[in-house]
A and B are shown apart, each in its own frame.
Chain A
Amino acid sequence: MNVKDKVVEIIAEQAVLEPSDVKMDHTLEDLGIDSLGLVESIFAIEEAFDISVPFNANDPSESDFDISSVAKIVEGVERLVAEQHA
């Protein structure tokens, strides 16, 4: 499973949706994922890819990790996997 499919699977599980219902331009808000759900998704991503995500729940917009859409999250994870498994 590639990074994109795995990230979509994690987000879909959190949102209690089928992966096919998760679109790349969706925001987490569109998917009904709240702040606690976001933190849980980040944890699931870290576990799945064995990476550390620079995400600060106090002020998500100040993090180096863009969560503004599913596409941005996938991009971010791909970058972190490349950097941290280099």
Chain B
Amino acid sequence: MKRVVITGAGTINALGQNVPDTLEAMREGRCGIGPLEMRDTDRLAIRIGGQVKGFDPEEVFNRQQIALYDRYTQFTLIAAEEAIRQSGLTFEGELANRSGVVLGTSGGGLTTQDENYRAVYEEGKNRVHPFVVPKLMNNAACSHVSMQYNIKGPSFTVASACASSNHAMGQAFWFVRSGMAPVMVTGGSESMLCFGGIKAWEGLRVMSKDGCRPFSATRNGMVQGEGAGIFVFEEYEHAKARGAEIIAEVAGFAMSSDAADIVMPSKQGAARAISGALADAGLDRERIGYINAHGTGTAANDKTECAAVADVFGTHADELMISSTKSMHGHCIGGTGAVELLSCIMALRDGVIAPTIGYEEPDPECALDCVPNEAREAKVGAALSNAFAFGGLNAVLVLKAA
């Protein structure tokens, strides 16, 4: 089996439009959640979100590109550019033929669907722009990365709601570890902050009207975010041979299905994914110093997740740190695991643990060290990133320091 390392990282999210800005915001415990800026907010019950603001696609893309790129694809390409540039890779010849792109998304081009349903249903128009299908499809972002960078190997999109990007990165990890691909571009993207997207989430009544406060007794629901995280996963010897900077090592991955309920999480399902990932990485549980929690800020997720962590880690659960950066960037759904992997990288590489902000009051059912409100310096050798999706699909990654 090959070793797999990360040699490039990129992002755009409510905290920043690149990795350094995002990590700085996480270090400072800055909140990217604020009033939603979109049409018809007066008809919304939920009016906050982790929206990417101050972003003008016309500064980055030309008119022809914008005609083809939904917002989620735009996010993907911006993050991919940063990641691939950092990796220093150029995809040509055999490397191009064997490398691939596996990305996660839940809603794909939901903004495009929303705008065009509005045009035909509300405005009564009888035709839509010819690119609606190539814009809205869930693999559009993956295909554009492949086209833009000449990456011609195994490429596809994974959809498992809030675990999409963790599932995607798990596949990419396997492709590189098995020797099938020398390099995989992976991660995920989401842009559901459109009127219809918010309305759909409002329907479930799990959204907070005032903020995301994971693990706090005062938490009252999740807050949606948007954005992308993209990484370059590379075979260790390949990276070493070309003198690439290694950001972190991807050490293990596991997934499980609760096979129980379409929305309620299961402690057993989450625990099986966590312990499976540790076993896959061949790491004793005591080696894990930090967990980036799924930590949505709903009553059900946070207590179930804490119970699962306590089950798997035993007494070590009281030693490790577990934080939810969703408190800062919101829940980026199919892209969230990828954005959150950045906090694991910051812990391993920079020795800084991102906080759970908005923390007000301890909840006895979430009695772990969630790094409340302020970032902390700590030396961490290995970290976990949890994602537990609606539908009971769980995916956990293990990272080790380079």
Contact = CB atoms under 8 A, between A and B. Distances in A.
A47 B125 CA distance: 10
B131 A46 contact: no
Nearest to A52: B127
Nearest to B125: A47
Nearest to B134: A36
Interface string A34-65: 00100110110011000010000000000000
Interface in B62-100: 67
B146 to A, nearest CB: 17
Contacts of A42: 130
B131 A40 contact: yes
B129 interface: yes
Nearest to A38: B130
Interface SS of chain A: helix
Contacts of A40: 67, 129-131
A46 B127 contact: yes
A36 B127 CA distance: 17
Interface string B125-148: 001011100000000000000000
A46 to B, nearest CB: 6
Nearest to B68: A36
Contacts of B130: 36, 39-40, 42-43
Contacts of B127: 43, 46-47, 52
A43 B129 CA distance: 7
Contacts of B129: 40, 43
B63 to A, nearest CB: 8
A37 B322 CA distance: 51
A68 to B, nearest CB: 21
A52 B67 CA distance: 21
A11 to B, nearest CB: 14
A49 to B, nearest CB: 12
A47 B127 CA distance: 9
Contacts of A39: 130
Most buried by B among A36, A39, A42, A46: A36
Interface in B329-370: none
B99 to A, nearest CB: 26
Looking at B67, B127, B130, B131, which has the most chain A CB atoms within 10 Å of its CB?
B130
Nearest to A14: B64
B153 to A, nearest CB: 25
A40 to B, nearest CB: 6
Interface of B: 67, 127, 129-131
The 5 closest A-B pairs by CB, nearest first: A39-B130, A43-B130, A40-B130, A43-B129, A46-B127
Given A36-B130, A36-B131, 5 more contacts: A40-B129, A40-B130, A43-B130, A47-B127, A52-B127
